[in-house]
């Protein structure tokens, strides 16, 4: 093999090895990036240890505002609304609220709520103990239902966060395909 060809082959092999190594490193790098920036918008269902130390203030001294938002996917002919659009809560205490859902169609449907928390760095600090988002919600034609939410905000919520927004988007997960209308 001629010298220029050998050098090119070695360089190409080195690039392939580096690309393979980089592809294996992407998952841990992504996890680190998400931890540093708080880009993961998922909520916590269990108390997780976080590097933020507990605040010196007592639970009774601090209140945060928790806003509730409910949306439906464009293919979901349901009405969804929270009982309360906003609550003042003390970190560390357990609270309960209710969301209301109504199937406007003439057919039974099953919905699934997908939660999101903003700011994203607050997501691990919102602990849902009971939530309608844990399971699918089947509703008969025209049926209305109250869906409870039991939650608390961790005492480890960073002190610079005074307002959290918990948003649910409902999607049609009915066993039959196609969009129903009502």
Higher pLDDT: 116 or 29? It is: 116
User: What percent of the chain lies above the pLDDT cut of 70?
Assistant: 75
Q: How confident is the model at residue 33, as a pLDDT?
A: 60
User: Residue 1: CB partners within 8 Å, gap ≥ 6?
Assistant: 9
What's the predicted TM-score (pTM) here? 0.64
Give the residues across from 54 on adjacent strands: none
Indicate the pLDDT class of residue 52, thresholds 50, 70 and 90: very low
Q: Give per-residue pLDDT as tens, 94-140.
A: 999 999 999 999 999 999 999 999 999 999 999 999 999 999 999 99
Lowest mean pLDDT of 9-13, 91-95, 138-142, 144-148, name the range.
9-13
């Amino acid at each position: 093999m001629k010298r220029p060809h050998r050098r090119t082959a070695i360089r190409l092999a080195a690039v392939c090895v580096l690309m393979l190594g980089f592809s294996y490193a992407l998952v841990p790098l992504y996890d680190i990036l998400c931890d540093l920036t708080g880009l993961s918008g998922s909520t916590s269902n269990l108390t997780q240890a976080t590097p933020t130390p507990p605040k010196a203030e007592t639970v009774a001294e601090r209140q945060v505002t928790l806003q509730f938002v409910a949306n439906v996917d464009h293919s979901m002919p349901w009405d969804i609304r929270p009982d309360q659009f906003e609550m003042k809560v003390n970190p560390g205490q357990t609270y309960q609220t209710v969301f209301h859902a109504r199937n406007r169609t003439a057919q039974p449907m099953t919905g699934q709520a997908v939660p999101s928390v903003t700011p994203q760095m607050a997501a691990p600090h919102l602990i849902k103990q009971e939530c309608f988002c844990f399971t699918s919600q089947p509703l008969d034609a025209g049926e209305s239902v109250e869906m409870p939410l039991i939650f608390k905000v961790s005492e480890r919520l960073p002190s610079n966060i005074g307002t959290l927004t918990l948003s649910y988007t409902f999607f049609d997960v009915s066993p039959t395909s196609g969009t129903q209308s009502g």
